[in-house]
Structures are given as structure tokens and as C-alpha cells.
Structure 1
Amino acid sequence: MSTSVRDRIVASTLHLIGTDGVAGVTNRRIAAHANVSLGSITYHFPSQPDLLRAALETFVAEETTRLREIAESHRNQGVSLAEAAGLAERVAEDLAFSAERIAPFELYVQAGRDPELRAAADRCWAAYDELTVAILTELGLPDPVAVASTLVATVAGLQLRRLSTGGGSDLSTSVLLLLQGAVLTGGAHRQS
């Protein structure tokens, strides 16, 4: 199956960002890596911020699709909070930190420097929050919206820690503590 020029450009951009950081990405390097003409990059992406936005949004779209499929495979199976936390840990550990998986961390940091990238980063975090709300709703948490962004940030932070140290983190314990706290807090709010 042939991949479109645009898709090859985006994939190469993610690879190069994950390998050399945003500063190491040039149109010439992308063209060489993607095996496309230099002009095709500016045809599809008039500016570097356009290309960086597309790279970030493409990664998140693929990642949320993958995570939705995992969530769907466990729908209506009566998964406990502890089992859900263990699943989150297994999903995180199964991910090898390839250049393409390191790239989003670079792009989120770049969004802090580049206002043109912030809207894309915001859409990406919103997609993770939305998926997390759906999963937490399935688990029966009392107020999944209230805990989703904290849970997403915790998982992202623990993944960053794992990436930067090369070591594991006890993600399942952290996720379980957050979920149990959300249940207790939700129960307390319903009683008052």
C-alpha cells in the first residue's frame, strides 16, 4: 500500500523531531528522509508551524485511535479500578520509546515557545481528556470530567519520567490512587 507524500512528510517530521529535536528539523532533512522533493514540503505545509501542527495532530489522532480500540476491547467487561490501573501500566510499558513516540514530548515543549502550535497542543490534550472521560465513565466514576485532566497529566508525566530516566515507574499505583481518590471524593460530594 502506497503512502501519500503528505503522510510521508509528516512521518519523517515526527521521526526527525524525536531523533534531533525541533531545532534539528529542516526541509532538506525531511525531504531526504521522506524521499520526496523539497518543493512538496512547502506545497503541503507553507510554514514550519503548519508542519509541526500536522505532525502533532497526526500523532495524537493515531494514538487516540489505538487507545480507543484498547478501551473498546474492555467495554462492558466489568473492569475494576485496580484492573484499569494495571491495564494503563501495561499499555504504557508496551510502548517502545521510538523517535516517533519521543516527538510529541518535544512538540509540547515547543508549543510553550510557539503560540502558533499551542492550539494544536490544546486540541491534543483535549482528545486525551475526552478519551479518558469515556473510559472513566465506563468504569462508573462519579465525576469523570473532574479527574480526567489530572489523570492524563499524571500518565504523561510518568511517561516523561520513564523516558528521561530509562527506568520504570509504578504507573498502576499512581493511577489507582487517583481513581480511588476520585471515587471517594465523588461519593462525599453525593452525600452532601
Structure 2
Amino acid sequence: MTRPAETRQRIISAVLRIIGDDGVAGVTNRRIAQEAGVSLGSVTYHFATQQDLLKASLLHFVTEETRHFGELAKQNRGGCADFRQVVELVGQVADAMPVDSERIAPYELYLHAGRDPELRSAAAECFAAYDELAATVLTALGVPNPEKVAGAVVGLVMGLKLRALATGSGTDDLVDGLLMVARGAVEG
């Protein structure tokens, strides 16, 4: 017998795959149930509305991303002597991430949040988590006023990652852009 937390997680993972494959419009309770291998009633039991489901999916993705990147930051805190090493590490992490439907799904959800006020709070929580993580890394690098720079760094990383997803390109632009922003923040 599957525990409720496992069922909920299977549903969220299915939603992210569906959104990544077909966008938010592809999310139906029947499709979620089929993709997750759960009953239709399980979907509505765990998530009363589509908004609840979308919000939970977006928050889950970002919580996992933030946890993963936070662990990487802790592991490499003393191992990177300068900006280039840190930025190259970010580039390696970005390159290692698979380009799959679950990586595309958050971008779909962020766009959907622009049209849906109920999802905006979840998107705001997600970006706050990214900003906090960026500020932590920038602080460790000695960047003055890291909170001011964090939003720009997050925007640059997300925009260049979106570009890489859309074009199939690598992370060279990401590494170069981060170096430019980091150096400017220290010098400025």
C-alpha cells in the first residue's frame, strides 16, 4: 500500500512531467492519474483545485533545486578561491542538469503565474528562495551588498538557462555573464 506522502509526490512529479511536455493546458486530473499511476480520486483527494496542484508542483521543484544548490554551495565553500572557479562550478552544474520535461516545467509555471494571480505567490516564494541562495554564495565571495546583486544574478542565470533550453546551447554564455556581473559587483 502506498503512503499518502508517496502518492502526493507521484502526483507532483507527474504534473511537472506533463507541464514540461505539453504546458499547463495539458494538465488534467485523468492524465495526472494515468501518469502517476494513481486513482483519479487520489488526485482530487490530495489537491482540491488545479491551482493547489500547480502551486505545490512549483514549490516542490524550487525546494528541491534550492536544497541541491545549497548542498553544492556548502561542499564547495572553501574549495573555490576566486570568481572564475565559482562561476565555472555553476556552469558545470548547469551542464550536468538534464534537459527534460521537469526542467522546462518551472518556466511554464512562471509564465502561467504572470496570468494567474493565485500562482504569483508561489512564484514569488520561489524567486525569494533563489535570491537567498544567490545572496549566500555572493556573501561567501565577498561581494558587497549581496542582496542587491542577487536578483540580477538569478535573472541572468534563469534567462541564460532558458536560452540554453530553447536553443540546445551550452552554458558558455552563463559562465561569461556571471563573471561579468560578479566582477562588476565587486568593483562597483
**Could you state the TM-score of these two structures normalised by the residue count of structure 1?**
0.93
Give, as a single letter, the amino acid of the residue that structure 2 aligns with 1:5.
Answer: T
Which position in structure 1 is the counterpart of 2:48?
46
Misfit runs of 4+, over 3 Å:
none
> 2-side partners of 1:120 and 1:170: how far apart?
29
Aligned ranges 1:1-192 → 2 under 5 Å: 4-168=6-170, 169-185=172-188
Contact 2:80 2:86 in 1 (8 A): no
> 2-side partners of 1:35 and 1:128: how far apart?
32
> 2-side partners of 1:78 and 1:39: how far apart?
50
Q: Which runs of 5+ in 1 are unaligned?
A: 186-192
Tell me by how many angstroms 1:75 deviates. 1.3
**CA offsets, 1:77-96, max 9 Å, x none?**
35311111111111111111
Give, as a single letter, the amino acid of the residue that structure 2 aligns with 1:180.
Answer: R
**CA offsets, 1:121-147, max 9 Å, x none?**
000000000001111111111111110
> 1-side partners of 2:12 and 2:4: how far apart?
15
User: Quick check: 133-142 or 163-172, which moved more?
Assistant: 163-172
Q: 1:3 to 1:43 in 2, by over 3 A?
A: closer
Q: Number of residue pairs matched?
A: 185
Q: Which runs of 5+ in 2 are unaligned?
A: none
Output the aligned Cα RMSD.
Answer: 1.4
**CA offsets, 1:10-60, max 9 Å, x none?**
010001000111001100000001111111111111100100000000000
Give, as a single letter, the amino acid of the residue that structure 2 aligns with 1:164.
Answer: A
Tell me by how many angstroms 1:173 deviates. 0.9
**CA offsets, 1:54-81, max 9 Å, x none?**
0000000000111011101111335311
Give, as a single letter, the amino acid of the residue that structure 1 aligns with 2:12.
Answer: V
> 2-side partners of 1:34 and 1:78: how far apart?
41
> 2-side partners of 1:27 and 1:2: how far apart?
17
- Matched residues, percent identical? 51
Which position in structure 2 is the counterpart of 1:189?
none
